[in-house]
Structure 1
Amino acid sequence: MTLAADVYTLVADIGGTNTRVALADRCALLPQTVKRFRNADFPGLETVLNKFLADHDNVDCAGACVAVAGPVKDGRGTLTNLDWEIDESTLARATQAERVVILNDLQAQGHAIGALSAGSVRKLVAGAEAEDTATKLVIGVGTGFNAAPVYETGIGRFIPPAEAGHANLPVRNEDELHLIRHFETAHGFPAVEDMLSGRGLERVYAWLCREAGSPSEASAAQIMDRVAADDEPIAAQAAAMFVRMLGTVAGNLSLIYLPFGGVYLAGGVARAFAPHFEALHFTDAFRDKGRFAGFMQNFAVHVVEDDYAALTGCASYLEGLSLSETNSAV
């Protein structure tokens, strides 16, 4: 496949475990170019992009946008769960692109809403009807945790960066209190991400096993397999605690941001739990807000099932910049 110069944009989604890269034509990804790289196999993003571009005839890209799972400030992104630092000069050098942008990964997920293909979003909890311009909320549950509101403004979509995964875990019952004290002892601070992430599920399972007097560990994938098979009570208990906490946190965030346009759960862990949300009473936990329980029925909850949604969001963001410049020049 011969790729024309200065036509396509390069987009990447850098998570704690994998980096996904693709070329895009305006808002549309080129499916044949989508590639996933295991971060442990590379010393940094530049080598990942060099490998990707070498496999695609070192195409000259018109722009490049990467989403990073961590805070972004002054054109530099620092990953929370990976010892890579990414800055705009490195991105420009690796891609030779005229325009480069670094976004927080939840910002990219937010820019993907409305641009994903049909069937990529599944509704989990019904909510009230709302205008397309209503505020939305994206919550990422994967290697880490984060959340960001999506605002529709008169000059385009605005998604402020956030690091919601490092706020305190809430407490609703004695079991959660004991677990949070365990996290505080182990990590010095009981953060939301300590529980609501793939590693968090593993920690909850290990803690429950110790509490039961039979210390054991399992990977998040193994725990979810046992939940699906319904053949281990402790795995089921860990999943129930996880979903209860996710519902509580998502409900808290909804009261803060009022996402009448819907809540969107993204990330591999969110997708893995999606078939079990109903049985594990996610909706009850989400709406369990005392006298505001009825008000919580305004907020629909969806799961984003497209593993490459952040790539689409990066492409959409670059396209929005181009359209804005075109409109300003007219």
Structure 2
Amino acid sequence: MISATPDRYSLLADIGGTNTRVALAEGGKLIPASIKRYANAGRPALEPILADYMQTEGVSDLAGACVAAAGPVHDGVAQMTNLSWVIEDHAIARVTKAETVAVLNDLQAQGHALGHLAPGAVRVIDKGAAARPNASQLVVGVGTGFNAAPVHEAPGGRIVAASECGHITLPTVTDEDIRLMRFVEEAHGFAAVEDVLSGRGLERVYAFAAREAGQDSTLPAAQVMEEITARSALGVATARIFTRHLGAVVGDLALVHLPFGGIHLCGGVARAFTPLLHEFGFLEAMRAKGRFAEFLQAFPVAVIEDDYAALSGCAAHLHARAPQL
């Protein structure tokens, strides 16, 4: 338990589709020993989790609070994409008594974390050209869902633009791509990027690979990863399809945002696939853009392996808004 005087600490929360991570920060720095994880299942809203956490940690009057939510944010209100919660800044302020409150999209929080992570928290996939100082960067999250956010260094400070690009149309180039799109449409009526490039998407890709092989087989994502690790026929087919689509989508986003400062993959599925990216042709798929293939070699690619990066990003964002926090 941290015994705190009023207005000393800030509260941080990273809300995913499955779990919520909560922590404290002081002076713009995450306090690792304060991190706790809560299952979202059975909880009606975020506020009871924050109240439980504050009671456990012995804090009751906080200086700031920043929440990162996996869903669109507008005017201080977040609507969770894969969870029936609505996060409102005034409700966070009421629970925490914080004077400064921010609600971010979770990928925005990852973007604010860049430059504030330990060197060992980032694994380089490809060095690309030397990253340009103050150049735009891109964070791409692959986990329960899919999303990305560009990171820009501006005269007034860092700007991390929100997006919901996981719900754009799944790219289709080959005949196999079209069959996958039709397969996804059977369940959803529309094939979005997140329907393939996410935890649930990995399950759909496996089911599609099974159908392509004349089988009817479904597995949860964790068991699909076991099949991939074991190099079963369906596991290899799944990894190949998933990695090729991941590369193609990241390449498209790179051409939109021109992240000469680097592309940073994050999220549980991205971390699970890190050892597989080279084997299954991620970089080749990312750069398969015709005459712009060589151009795409300029962008460094890395994976953020820190599961609490969004919390660090929340702390950095609060500190940038109010340096005393």
Q: 1:286 maps to what in 2?
A: 286
1:250 aligns with 2:250: yes
Q: Which runs of 5+ in 1 are unaligned?
A: none
CA shift, 1:200, in A, is: 0.1
Secondary structure, aligned partner of 2:94? helix
- Look up the equivalent residue of 2:11 and give its one-letter code: L
Q: 2:73 maps to what in 1?
A: 72
1:298 aligns with 2:266: no
Q: 2:149 maps to what in 1?
A: 148
Secondary structure, aligned partner of 1:119? helix
TM-score, normalising length: structure 1: 0.96
CA shift, 1:322, in A, is: 1.2
CA shift, 1:134, in A, is: 0.3
Q: 1:261 maps to what in 2?
A: 261
With 247-256 and 218-227 compared, the bigger mean Cα shift is at 218-227
CA offsets 1:4-26 (integer angstroms, 9 cap, x no match): 32111100011111111100112
Q: Is the 8 A contact 2:66 2:318 kept in 1?
A: yes
- Look up the equivalent residue of 1:243 and give its one-letter code: T
Secondary structure, aligned partner of 1:181? helix
With 255-264 and 94-103 compared, the bigger mean Cα shift is at 94-103
Secondary structure, aligned partner of 1:40? coil
1:108 aligns with 2:109: yes
Q: 1:321 maps to what in 2?
A: 321
Q: Is the 8 A contact 1:26 1:316 kept in 2?
A: no
Q: Which runs of 5+ in 2 are unaligned?
A: none
Q: 1:18 maps to what in 2?
A: 19
Instruction: Give the RMSD, CA atoms, in angstroms.
Output: 1.3
CA shift, 1:214, in A, is: 2.1
Aligned positions, number: 324
Spell out structure 1 runs of 4+ moving beyond 6 A.
Answer: none
CA shift, 1:307, in A, is: 0.3
Q: 2:38 maps to what in 1?
A: 37
CA offsets 1:173-210 (integer angstroms, 9 cap, x no match): 11111000111232111100000000000011112213
CA shift, 1:211, in A, is: 2.9
CA offsets 1:244-266 (integer angstroms, 9 cap, x no match): 00000000000000000000001
CA shift, 1:228, in A, is: 1.5
Q: Is the 8 A contact 1:8 1:61 kept in 2?
A: yes
| Structure 2: distance between partners of 1:300 and 1:289 | 17
- Look up the equivalent residue of 2:25 and give its one-letter code: A
Secondary structure, aligned partner of 1:55? helix
| Structure 1: distance between partners of 2:287 and 2:191 | 23
Q: Is the 8 A contact 2:113 2:316 kept in 1?
A: yes
Q: 1:272 maps to what in 2?
A: 272
CA offsets 1:128-170 (integer angstroms, 9 cap, x no match): 1132200000000000000110000011000111000000011
Q: 1:166 maps to what in 2?
A: 167
With 26-35 and 95-104 compared, the bigger mean Cα shift is at 26-35
Q: Is the 8 A contact 1:264 1:301 kept in 2?
A: yes
CA offsets 1:62-86 (integer angstroms, 9 cap, x no match): 0000000110001100011100001
With 172-181 and 142-151 compared, the bigger mean Cα shift is at 172-181
Q: Is the 8 A contact 2:227 2:234 kept in 1?
A: no
| Structure 1: distance between partners of 2:155 and 2:278 | 37
Secondary structure, aligned partner of 2:57? coil
Secondary structure, aligned partner of 2:322? helix
Q: 1:48 maps to what in 2?
A: 49
| Structure 1: distance between partners of 2:152 and 2:30 | 24
CA shift, 1:59, in A, is: 3.5
Q: Is the 8 A contact 1:27 1:115 kept in 2?
A: no
Q: 1:2 maps to what in 2?
A: 3
TM-score, normalising length: structure 2: 0.97
| Structure 2: distance between partners of 1:62 and 1:132 | 33
With 51-60 and 68-77 compared, the bigger mean Cα shift is at 51-60
Secondary structure, aligned partner of 1:205? helix
CA shift, 1:58, in A, is: 3.1
| Structure 2: distance between partners of 1:26 and 1:251 | 37
